[in-house]
């Protein structure tokens, strides 16, 4: 196999090629339904998994070296930034995402960290211009440090609430400077481990107020992009306040945030919550809160957040179906919140993992288009609800009936025939499209 440095750019080689460092399904400039594949998919590189993760797990230390021989912290972080853009260039990835702590050394205190951070933001700005790349979103890591052990905006300690605000403010400024089109809040430790020590109402109200202040601050600085909440049911806390899409929409509505805030749906978080990825996307859509995607997959036999690169084409097809039905991404995109397995520990593995994930979504896009063009599933669904197109059903749709009328109608129509849902047939239609020659 070729070495990282021998590879200049990953090219589209088509589905019949056996070239490992080539795209089989992702052809960035190919136009599908009037849009280039790169615009449909809006792939983003995740800084934390790609540049910072070195293979550590609960039972063992690093299996990868991502220091590139650099010892001095600022030099190391600049080297990482160079590598991030080199990877994006090789992979034809147009966007990237980061946490504040991913891109800059921590220093001795907040002041030092913010100085390092701002210097690195300048550096990233230069690289963005040089390589013609964009920031999809950034976020503050308000969960890693000891200070955040009991949460950030939901901490029982008001000093932590203030520290969290300082970090988010710096990230919002950076996001505006770098032209990011989204800003993510993932709960981190915003949740609880036991109700015995938790004032849930105070914590939720503080979280709502924190988001309102973040929105108002960024808008006052001219930020026009989206804010996203990324639901996750558990891990690291036993119960995360942003449990799933439905819970999070309720939170956004309660605190007057819906509209400015949308959802960043992560596949592995969906399955942790006991839902499918496409379920979470549909819930976001029906609430007018579809925003962005963290693309990855979990392992159903493990049951924790394994953040694997997505390769399951059923999932990518059904999720791209939701994206297409929504009219595509606006400010959002597909961020690979995914890491190579601990044993896939070379730089080449990073390329191979991104190729696998990008191809899986590219194939998912192609199949979702076929599913829609084929029309059988959409037509079946449409037909299934036809009773709402006329008569009493139409009145229900128009909200122009009442219980007296419905009761009279029911008494006159008591021979009801609910038709078959044809699940097995529809699943075979999906298979025929997925595996057609």
Q: Which does 292 bind (CB under 5 to 8 A by kind): ligand XUL, Co ion, none?
A: none
Between 245 and 369, name the residue whose CB sits nearer to Co ion. Answer: 245
Between 78 and 279, name the residue whose CB sits nearer to Co ion. Answer: 279
Distance CA 12, CA 130 (A): 24
Q: b/e per residue, 336-362, with b = 16+ CB within 10 A? A: bbbbbebebbebbbbbbbbbbbbbbbb
Sign of CA dihedral 361, 363, 367, 369: positive
Q: b/e per residue, 261-284, with b = 16+ CB within 10 A? A: bbbbbbbbbbbbbebbbbbbbbbb
Q: Which does 305 bind (CB under 5 to 8 A by kind): ligand XUL, Co ion, none?
A: ligand XUL
Distance CA 178, CA 182 (A): 11
Residues 180-199 vs ligand XUL: string with x where CB under 6 A? ----x-x-------------
State the nearest-atom distance from the C-beta of 29 to ligand XUL, in Å.
Answer: 29
- The shares of helix, strand and coil residues in the chain, as percent rounded to the nearest 5, are 50, 15, 40
Between 186 and 321, name the residue whose CB sits nearer to ligand XUL. Answer: 186
State the nearest-atom distance from the C-beta of 235 to ligand XUL, in Å.
Answer: 7
Task: Give catalytic status of residue 279 as yes or no.
Answer: no
Distance CA 171, CA 181 (A): 13
Contact 43, 95 (CB under 8 A): yes
Catalytic residue among 40, 49, 99, 269: 99
For 130, other C-beta atoms within 10 Å of its C-beta total 10
Between 141 and 164, name the residue whose CB sits nearer to Co ion. Answer: 141
Q: Which does 232 bind (CB under 5 to 8 A by kind): Co ion, ligand XUL, none?
A: ligand XUL
For residue 297, the cross-strand partners are 308
Q: Which of 78, 133, 167, 232 binds ligand XUL (CB under 6 A)?
A: 232
Catalytic residue among 100, 102, 173, 337: 102
State the nearest-atom distance from the C-beta of 24 to Co ion, in Å.
Answer: 26
Q: Which of residues 94-123 bind ligand XUL (CB under 6 A)?
A: 99
> In this structure, what are the phi and psi dihedrals at residue 246, rounded to the nearest 5 degrees?
-65, -45
The SS3 of residue 176 is helix
Q: Which does 184 bind (CB under 5 to 8 A by kind): Co ion, ligand XUL, none?
A: ligand XUL
Q: Which of 102, 190, 280, 294 binds ligand XUL (CB under 6 A)?
A: 294
Q: Which residue has the tokens 């440095």?
A: 5
Between 10 and 353, name the residue whose CB sits nearer to ligand XUL. Answer: 353
Between 245 and 433, name the residue whose CB sits nearer to ligand XUL. Answer: 245
Q: Which does 339 bind (CB under 5 to 8 A by kind): Co ion, ligand XUL, none?
A: none
Binding site for Co ion (CB under 5 A): 266, 294, 337
248 forms part of the interface with ligand XUL (CB under 6 A): no
DSSP letters for 19-34: -TTEESS--TT-EETT
Catalytic residues: 99, 102
What is the contact surface with ligand XUL in residues (CB under 6 A)? 99, 139, 184, 186, 230, 232, 266, 294, 305, 337
């Amino acid at each position: 196999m070729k070495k990282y440095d021998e590879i200049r750019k990953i090219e589209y080689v088509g589905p019949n090629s056996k070239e490992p460092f080539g795209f089989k399904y992702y052809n960035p400039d190919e136009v599908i339904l009037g849009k280039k594949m790169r615009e449909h998919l809006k792939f983003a590189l995740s800084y934390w998994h790609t540049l910072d993760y070195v293979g550590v797990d609960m039972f063992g230390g690093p299996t990868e070296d991502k220091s590139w021989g650099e010892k001095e912290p600022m030099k190391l972080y600049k080297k990482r930034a160079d590598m991030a853009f080199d990877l994006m260039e090789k992979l034809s990835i147009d966007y990237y995402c980061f946490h504040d702590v991913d891109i800059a050394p921590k220093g001795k205190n907040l002041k030092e960290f913010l100085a390092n951070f701002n210097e690195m933001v300048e550096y990233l700005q230069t690289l963005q211009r040089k390589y013609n790349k964009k920031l999809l979103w950034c976020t503050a890591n308000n969960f890693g440090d000891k200070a955040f052990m009991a949460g950030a905006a939901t901490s029982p300690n008001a000093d932590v609430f203030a520290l969290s605000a300082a970090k988010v403010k710096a990230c919002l400024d950076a996001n505006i400077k770098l032209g990011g089109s989204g800003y993510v809040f993932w709960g981190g430790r915003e949740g609880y481990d036991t109700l015995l020590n938790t004032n849930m109402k105070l914590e939720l109200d503080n979280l709502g107020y924190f988001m309102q202040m973040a929105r108002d601050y960024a808008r006052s600085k001219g930020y026009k992009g989206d804010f996203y909440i990324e639901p996750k049911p558990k891990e690291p806390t036993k119960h995360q306040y942003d449990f799933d899409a439905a819970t999070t929409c309720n939170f956004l509505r309660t605190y007057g945030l819906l509209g400015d805030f949308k959802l960043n749906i992560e596949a592995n978080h969906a399955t942790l919550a006991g839902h499918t990825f496409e379920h979470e996307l549909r819930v976001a859509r029906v609430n007018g809160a579809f925003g962005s995607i963290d693309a990855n997959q979990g392992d159903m036999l493990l049951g924790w957040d394994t953040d694997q690169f997505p390769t399951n084409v059923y999932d990518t097809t059904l999720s791209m179906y939701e994206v297409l039905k929504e009219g595509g991404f606006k400010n959002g995109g597909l961020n690979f919140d995914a890491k190579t397995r601990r044993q896939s520990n070379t730089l080449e593995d990073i390329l191979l993992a991104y190729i696998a994930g990008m191809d899986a979504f590219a194939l998912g896009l192609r199949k979702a288009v076929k599913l829609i063009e084929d029309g059988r599933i959409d037509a079946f669904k449409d037909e299934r609800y036809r009773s709402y197109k006329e008569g009493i059903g139409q009145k229900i749709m128009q909200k122009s009936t009442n219980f007296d009328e419905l009761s009279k109608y029911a008494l006159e129509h008591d021979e009801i025939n609910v038709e078959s849902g044809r699940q097995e047939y529809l699943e075979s239609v999906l298979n025929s499209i997925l595996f057609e020659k």
